[in-house]
Structure 1
C-alpha cells in the first residue's frame, strides 16, 4: 500500500497538529506566567510585611536607653603618712564607663581607725555616715589628721541607680622628734 502524506498546510508529513494542542501550549504558557506573577506578588507582600513590622517595632515608645553605667573612683597621689594635725587635700575623680546626663553621685565615709576631721573645699564639716551629694565628677575634700598612729577613711560612693563602690584611704602616723622624747 502506498504511503500517502497529507501536509494540510503545516509542512510536516504525517504529523498533524490540532489547534487544541496549540491552545494547550498557550494555556500552559499563560498559567506559567500567572504562577510567576503570583510568586512575585507573594514575595513582595512578605517583604512589605517585614518592612512594616520593622518600622512599627522601631517606633516603639519603650526605647531602651542605658542609664546605669559602671564607674570607679580615683584620687591624685597622696602621702603615705601624716603627722598629728597635718592636713591633706583629697582630690577625687569619678571615672564613668559611659555618660548619662541624669546620673547623680553621692558619698559617705567612716573613719575606721584614728581620728580626724573631713571638710569640703569650702571648709564645711562633713558628718560621718551621712550621704553627701557630689556636684562634679572632680571634687576635693580636706582631711586633717588627729591621730598619732594610723588613720583610715572608708568611703562609699553610690549613684542614683544603686551602683556602689567602696574606696579606702590609709595614712600611717609620723612621729615627730617631740613624740620620741
Structure 2
C-alpha cells in the first residue's frame, strides 16, 4: 500500500510540474528578443515666449523656445532650420555664426534662445522649423513690423 501511495504522489507531482514547464516554455517563446518593441519616437510640443511686434533696422530681439517632448528618449536629436521670405535679417544662436536659410542645425539643448537682428527698414517675416531625428516637426511663423 505504501508503494502505491508513493507512486501516486510521484505521479501527481509530475502532473503538477508538466503544466508549469509548458507555461514557462510558452512564456519564453512568446518573448523573443527580436519581437520586443521599444518606443523611441515621441512627438513634442514647442513653447515660444512672446516677442515684440515691431523691430527697427539694426535692432536685435530675443526669441525663447522650449521643446517639450511627450516622453524622453535619450537618443532623440533635435534640429532647426529657418527661411525668411519678407525683409532681411539675421537669425543666430547666442554668438554662433548666423544661420543660413534652409540649412539644418543641430540643437544641443531643449530650452534655448535665438536672436534675430533686423537688417531691413520694411516688415519682416520668417518661419522656423524644429524637427527631431524621427521626422516629427513643428513650424513657428514670425512677423515683425518695421519700427521707425
Larger RCO (CA within 8 A; separation ≥ 6): 2
Deviation at 1:139, TM superposition (A): 1.5
SS of match in other structure, 1:66: coil
Q: Distance in 1 between matches of 2:27 and 2:135?
A: 34
- Which residue of structure 1 lines up, in the alignment, with residue 54 of structure 2? 81
Gap regions ≥5 residues in structure 2: 1-7
Q: Distance in 2 between matches of 1:117 and 1:84?
A: 11
Runs in 1 of length 4+ with deviation above 3 angstroms? 43-48
Deviation at 1:46, TM superposition (A): 4.1
RMSD of aligned Cα (Å): 2.4
Q: Distance in 2 between matches of 1:147 and 1:46?
A: 79
Give the TM-score normalised by the residue count of structure 2: 0.80
Q: Distance in 2 between matches of 1:49 and 1:152?
A: 67
Q: Distance in 2 between matches of 1:170 and 1:53?
A: 61
Over residues 30-67 of structure 1, what are the superposed CA-to-partner deviations in whole Å (9 max), with x where a residue is unaligned? xxxx9xx88x93x8644532332113333524421110
Q: Which has the higher strand share?
A: 2
Is 1:122 the equivalent of 2:95?
A: yes
Give the TM-score normalised by the residue count of structure 1: 0.67
Q: Distance in 1 between matches of 2:18 and 2:142?
A: 66
Is 1:112 the equivalent of 2:103?
A: no
Over residues 91-143 of structure 1, what are the superposed CA-to-partner deviations in whole Å (9 max), with x where a residue is unaligned? 11111111000000111100011111112202421111100110110112110
Q: Distance in 1 between matches of 2:23 and 2:115?
A: 61
SS of match in other structure, 1:58: coil
- Which residue of structure 1 lines up, in the alignment, with residue 72 of structure 2? 99
Is 1:64 the equivalent of 2:64?
A: no
